[in-house]
Structure 1
Amino acid sequence: MAQDRFYATGKRKTAVARVWLTPGTGKVIVNEVEADAYFGQIFKSQKIVKPFKVTETMEQFDVIATLRGGGKSAQVDALSHGISKALLESNPAIRLQLKQSGLLTRDPREKERKKYGQKGARAKFQFSKR
């Protein structure tokens, strides 16, 4: 018996996406809201559907995701990462396609911490010689 639900976690910066894939018609629901409504004007549908385009599984799965943390842009990237990993769970044979597109690699860039005695992570207070 084939599994009918696939789960994966995607991350980017401080955003975490918990993603469930179920066989369906290609609907994307984020935090119990349609993706278009959740992301609004900055909705990057190309980033979300890229894993499906690469693996040629368009409109075969419904996506249900819960997003926490980060901004909208980081959440879109986390969602894309989660979808890619969930697709891999559903079919391990598509690993090479996803890997070559860079969809399985988590973006490791994080915010650098502010240092004491300084204005920011790298910005410093103006130096006065006298």
Structure 2
Amino acid sequence: MREQELDKQGRAYATGRRKDATARVWLKPGTGKVTVNGRDQEVYFARPTLRLVIDQPFAITERQGQYDVVATVKGGGLSGQAGAVKHGIAQALSKYEPALRSTVKAAGFLTRDSRVVERKKYGRAKARRSFQFSKR
């Protein structure tokens, strides 16, 4: 069995990544308040689907409203940032409550989603799309 990993303030820390986004996440017992870059999650992630993504680790472990999350996110777009925060929350949850690790791992939340945007190639319009063919 793994040990609980906490810092001096009694928080669990983890880093989450997705696409070009990196999230530093601190998790501590509380009322379920999620703060991203100093703003409330409703303000930072205006789309309901993004907030749903962030709440997935809590939903799968039945821990909604039991932890406060403070996250700082850099890089990428909003979708990638939400995925990075989700990854960080899942990692931090497994550090705070090692018993939940198997549940979170089975859902696939501990694995970093390695899919990134393919680079553009020369002689092409985009990564794979060719320029329009002209017969004459």
Confirm whether residue 74 of structure 1 aligns to residue 80 of structure 2: yes
TM, length-normalised to structure 1: 0.89
Q: Which runs of 4+ in 1 moved over 6 A?
A: none
What is the CA distance between 1:83 and its match in structure 2?
0.1
Identify the residue that residue 25 of structure 2 maps to in structure 1. 19
TM, length-normalised to structure 2: 0.86
Give me the whole-angstrom Cα distance separating, in 2, the residues matched to 1:59 and 1:84. 15
Structure 1, unaligned runs of 5 or more: none
Give me the whole-angstrom Cα distance separating, in 2, the residues matched to 1:129 and 1:31. 53
Q: How many residues align?
A: 129
How does 1:91-102 map onto structure 2 within 5 Å? 91-102=97-108
Give me the whole-angstrom Cα distance separating, in 2, the residues matched to 1:82 and 1:59. 17
Contact 1:17 1:67 in 2 (8 A): yes
Contact 1:51 1:103 in 2 (8 A): yes
Structure 2, unaligned runs of 5 or more: none
Confirm whether residue 61 of structure 1 aligns to residue 67 of structure 2: yes
Give me the whole-angstrom Cα distance separating, in 2, the residues matched to 1:88 and 1:102. 13
